[in-house]
Structure 1
Amino acid sequence: MDTGESIKGKPVTEEQIGAWADEAEVGYDVEELRKRGRGRPGRGAEPSQVVALRLTTEELANIDARAAREGKSRSEVIREALAASAA
């Protein structure tokens, strides 16, 4: 079953959520997690800012459809659209 959410344009399924829950219940190696670094990778020299945006269901569906077609994330599609409109 599709949850309606996606990661990098790929749908998150109930099975994937179950697998993540099983993994969490077993526990994580804290030392291994510390090796990964902190937070998301930067997009430039300065920290990025998070901006809240309200979209209709139809707008979000259109963004998700494009993201899936192009193998991109929602954020990538939105950033590209903003850059194109500012040019």
Structure 2
Amino acid sequence: MTSNETINGRPVTAQQIAEWVAEAEAGYDVAALKKRGRGRPGRGAEPSQVVALRLTLDEIAALDARAEREGKTRSEIIREALACNATTSC
């Protein structure tokens, strides 16, 4: 694990990993796990598709800086930019 691993913008600590290990070793309620939905939640009525995007390190840094500044994810920033371009009402 590198020192910059995060979940929802919060650093993952060795203590958190130890807690996850203890939880896994204690076992999980399989019935409760099966009740959860499969995959990520939908974004609307229509199915969505994952699209790969190649960015330079500078572009990623700018994207991450804006996402952090606005409290959003990379995906949210990219979707907003696409919507802005499509409607030209930014």
TM bin, normalised by shorter chain, reads: 0.7 to 0.9
Identity of aligned residues (%): 64
Cα deviation for residue 12 of structure 1 reads: 4.0
CA distance, structure 2, for counterparts of residue 17 and residue 53 of structure 1: 31
Cα deviation for residue 2 of structure 1 reads: 4.0
TM superposition score normalised by structure 2? 0.72
Cα deviation for residue 13 of structure 1 reads: 3.5
CA RMSD of aligned residues (A): 2.5
Higher Cα Rg: structure 1 or 2? 2
Runs of 5+ unmatched residues, structure 1: none
In structure 2, the partner of 1:32 is 32
Answer yes or no: is the 8 Å Cα contact 1:7–1:73 preserved in 2: no
In structure 1, the partner of 2:61 is 61
TM superposition score normalised by structure 1? 0.74
- Higher RCO by CA contacts (8 Å cutoff, separation 6 or greater): 1
CA distance, structure 2, for counterparts of residue 46 and residue 29 of structure 1: 32
In structure 2, the partner of 1:13 is 12
- The answer to which of 17-26 and 65-74 deviates more is 17-26
* Count, aligned residues: 85
CA distance, structure 2, for counterparts of residue 7 and residue 74 of structure 1: 14
CA distance, structure 2, for counterparts of residue 61 and residue 20 of structure 1: 32
